[in-house]
Amino acid sequence: MNMAVELGGNELRSPLIAASGTVGSVVEFAEVASLRPYGAAVAKSVAPVAWDGRKPPRMAPAGASMLNGIGIQNPGVEAWLQEFAPSFADLDVEVWASAVGHTVAEFARVAAAID
């Protein structure tokens, strides 16, 4: 069955997009599960510089589920480009980046580095 869709000028094999944070760096997820069902996977958000994230505890029970607050821990865009981006071409899915920052200039810095 052909499930291809066009989104923003990109042809995706499937309308399913793995949201940022649900598949980590995407590279690590691909080591344990298939990305074949997805049209794209959004990598964990990356900032202009490394962020440590929240101090523990990062998770708390909430009845039959849990709450988490990781705090967007990431290595910073330059380390991300060196550590993860080179492996994206080897994956069986289109990988999209997710930028994070405190100011418009920080978002622009990440976007320029990734572009």
Q: What is the pLDDT along the chain (115 residues), one digit of tens a residue?
A: 999 999 999 999 999 999 998 898 999 999 999 999 999 999 999 999 999 999 999 999 999 999 999 999 999 999 999 999 999 999 999 999 999 999 999 999 999 999 8
Model pTM?
0.85
Structural domains counted in the chain: 1
Domain that holds residue 20: 5-114
Distance between CA atoms of 108 and 103, rounded to whole angstroms? 9
CATH code for the domain in which residue 14 is found: 3.20.20.70
Distance between CA atoms of 78 and 76, rounded to whole angstroms? 6
Type of residue at 7: L
